[in-house]
Amino acid sequence: MFKYLVIICIFSFLEIQAMPIKYFDKYSIEEINKYHATQINKKCPIRNDKVTRQLSWIANGKMIIITKEMDMYALNAYGAEEQLKNYMYPLDKKLACNNKLWSPVIKRGTIAKFKYVDTNNKFLFNIFIDKKDCK
């Protein structure tokens, strides 16, 4: 079912004018989140692969909400949302915990909320990643 899901880890922080890590101590995590989310959101929608797009990035205090659209028809995955969530969690975790720009903000308390919707904007599931996930 997920054989067509080819995840290309194109992480949008690499495409923006990211705030240098050396400045992280000068700003609150809320300010850093707002800056990064605003910069990335300007580039949305961002195509990740054949079935996934990042629709928006929104900062909400210590949380960054990344809305991702999945083409459930192409995946033939309707009715298998829980399986898809279990498949996506380690990929989102690896991205959030190991990326050189994500990792410092997660360690400072940012919570990454990956909100998945289908191509009709119907809610599918959420994945939350925070510093306890990155140990």
pLDDT by position in tens, the chain (length 135): 444 333 333 343 444 456 666 777 789 999 999 999 999 999 999 999 999 999 999 999 999 999 999 999 888 888 899 999 999 999 999 989 998 878 889 999 999 999 999 999 999 999 999 999 998
Domain ranges of the chain: 12-134
pTM of the complete model: 0.84
For tokens 């054949």, name the residue: 50
Distance CA 83, CA 12 (A): 26
- Across the chain, where does the E strand assignment appear? 46-47, 52-60, 63-70, 111-118, 123-129
Q: Domain 12-134, what architecture?
A: 2-Layer Sandwich (3.30)
Residues 6+ away with beta carbon under 8 Å from 9: 91, 94, 95
Please tell me what DSSP assigns to residue 16: S
**Helix/strand number for the chain, H first, E second:** 4, 5
Write out the two tokens for 79: 């009715």
Nearest to 48 by CA among 2, 9, 102, 97: 9
